[in-house]
Amino acid sequence: MRLIQTIKNIFKIEDLRARLLYTLSIIMIYRLGKYVSLPGIDPSQLQDLRTQTSSGIMSLLDMFSGGAFSQASIFALGIMPYISASIVVQLLGIVFPYFQKLQKEGESGRRKMNQYTRYLTVIILILQAPTYLYNLHNVLPSTAFITSGTFFMVSSVIILTAGTIFVMWLGEKITDKGIGNGISLIIMIGIVARMPANFIFEAGARMNGAGGLIALVVELVFLFVVILGTILLVQGTRRIPVQYARRIIGNKQYGGVRQYIPLKVNAAGVMPIIFAQAIMMLPIIIAGYSNSSSGFVVAFSNMYGFWYNLVTGLLIILFTYFYTAITINPVQMAEDMKKNGGFIPGIKPGRKTVEFIDGIMSKITLPGSIFLAIVAIMPSLAVKAGVSQQFAQFYGGTSLLILVGVVLDTLQQIESHLLMRHYDGLMKSGRIKGRTGAVAAY
C-alpha cells in the first residue's frame, strides 16, 4: 500500500510528473532509433551480425548500444565514443595545466570541457565508423548490401556520426528537463532492454535441461546476492568527523559544530573496469589485424579464461588506486578544512591531517578494489557455473555497476522532489544514497 501511495504522490507533483513523462518520451525515441537500419543495408539479412554479437567482447558492445550494434542501426555506435572522449578529457585535466584551470573555473570551465569532449567525440566517431562498416562487409553476405562503394561508406560514416551526436543530445535533454543523468540513463536502458529476452532464454534452457526449476531459482537467488553486494559497494562510505569553530577568540575555539566528510569505499566508480577492459581488448585487436594464433593471444582473447580474468582483476585493483588518487586530494581537503577553521578531533592540522586522510583512503580502497575486481569477473564465474553467456552479463562487470549506480541516482532525485514538497520518501526509514559527489555512473 505504501508503494501505491508513493506513486500517487509522485504524480501529484506537477513538475516531477512532467519530468518523468519527458524522460520516458526521450527514452522511447532512443529505443525506436535502434530499429532504423543504415540506408543501403537489407535489415532482413543481419543474422550473421547477430550471431557475431551474441557472445564475447562483441556482446558487450551490443549491450552498451542497446542492441543497435547488431541491428546495423543509425545508433549502432551508441554513446560509448562520448564516454571514451569524456575519459580522455578527464585524464587531460591531470596532465595539462590548461585543463586543470578549466576544471577550477566553475560553470564556464565545465562548458568549455564539455565542448572539447564533443569535438573529441566527433574525431573518435570518424575513426570508429569506418571500422564498424568494414566489419559489416566481412560478416554480412554481399546480398545484404543494397548499395556499396565510396558513396555508401561516406554517407554511412556521416549517418553513424550524426546518430551518436543525436543520442548525446537526447541524453543532455534528459539531464536538463528530465530525471537523472541522461547519458548514464541511456546506457542503463540499453542494458535493461536485453534483460527480459536473456532471462527467457536462460529460463527455457534450464527448464529443458539439467537442474530444471531448482537450478533457475538458485541462479536468481545468487543474482540477488550479487546485486545486493554491488549496492553496498556503491553506497559504502567511511565518515570522518570534522570540528568547525563558530567563534575564535585568540587561539581558542568556542561553540564548535561537528560535521562529517564521507569518503566512499568505491570512489573510483566504474572507471577502473572500463580502463582494464580497454587494455584487455588490445590482444583481440592485435589478433584481428595480424591473424596471429599464438598461445599468448589466444589466452588473453578468451574473456572467460583464467589468465584473462586474473590480469583483469589485478588491473582493476591497480586502476582503482590510481583513479582514487587523482579524484581525491587529501592535501586539498586538509587545506580547505584549515581555511574554514576546521580540524579532525585528535589530529593536528596540516601534514598530520593529510597523512590521516591518506591512510583512511588506503585502508578503505583496498577492500573496495578487491570487491570491484570480484564484481568485474563475476560473469566469467557464472559462465563456469553453467549460466548462459547472455544472462551471465547481469551478474557483474560494468553493466551491473552502471545499472545499480544509475537506479540509485534516479531514485535519489525522485526522493528529493518528494521530500522537498513534504511527502514521504521512497523508503520507510532512512534515505536513498546515490553517487552524489563521486564519479558519474559511466
Q: Which residue ranges make up each domain of the chain?
A: 15-179, 195-442
Instruction: Determine the Cα angle at 362 with ends 358 and 364, to 5°.
Output: 115
Specify the amino acid at residue 97: P
What is the CATH architecture of 15-179? Orthogonal Bundle (1.10)
With a CB cutoff of 8 Å and minimum separation 6, the contacts of 62 are 53, 68, 69, 70
Instruction: Show the cell assigned to 297.
Output: 593471444
Query: Contact, 144 vs 42, CB < 8 A?
Result: yes
Helix H or strand E encompassing 261 = strand 257-264
Angstrom distance (rounded) from CA 312 to CA 325: 20
Neighbours of 334 (CB within 10 A): 24
Q: Length of the chain in residues, anyone?
A: 442
Q: What is the DSSP letter of 41?
A: B
Angstrom distance (rounded) from CA 214 to CA 171: 41
The order of strands in the sheet holding 257-264 is 257-264, 237-244, 342-343
Q: Do domains 15-179 and 195-442 have the same CATH topology?
A: yes
- The pair phi, psi for residue 105, each rounded to 5°, is -90, 10
With a CB cutoff of 8 Å and minimum separation 6, the contacts of 85 are 117, 118, 120, 121, 124
SS3 of 11-27: the string is HHCHHHHHHHHHHHHHH
Angstrom distance (rounded) from CA 237 to CA 323: 17
Instruction: Show the cell assigned to 79.
Output: 554513446
With a CB cutoff of 8 Å and minimum separation 6, the contacts of 411 are 426, 432, 434
pLDDT per residue rounded down to tens, the chain (442 residues): 566 767 777 777 788 888 899 999 999 999 998 888 899 888 888 888 888 777 666 777 787 788 888 888 999 988 888 888 887 887 787 778 888 788 777 778 888 888 999 999 999 999 889 888 888 888 888 888 888 788 889 999 999 999 999 999 999 899 888 888 888 888 888 888 888 888 888 888 777 776 677 888 888 888 888 888 888 888 788 788 887 765 555 555 545 667 778 888 888 777 788 778 777 776 665 555 455 555 666 667 677 788 888 888 898 898 888 888 877 888 888 888 888 778 888 888 888 888 888 888 888 888 888 988 888 888 888 888 888 777 887 887 777 888 888 888 888 888 887 777 766 555 555 556 655 433 344 4
Angstrom distance (rounded) from CA 54 to CA 392: 12
CATH homologous superfamily for the domain 195-442: SecY subunit domain (1.10.3370.10)
Angstrom distance (rounded) from CA 87 to CA 277: 14
Reduced to 3 states (helix: H, G, I; strand: E, B; else coil), residue 396 is coil
State how far the alpha carbon of 350 is from the alpha carbons of 326, 336, 339, 343, 347, in Å: 20, 10, 11, 9, 9
Q: What is the DSSP letter of 73?
A: B
Chain CA centroid to CA 254, Å: 45
In terms of Cβ atoms closer than 10 Å to its own Cβ (0-12, 13-18, 19+), residue 34 is: buried
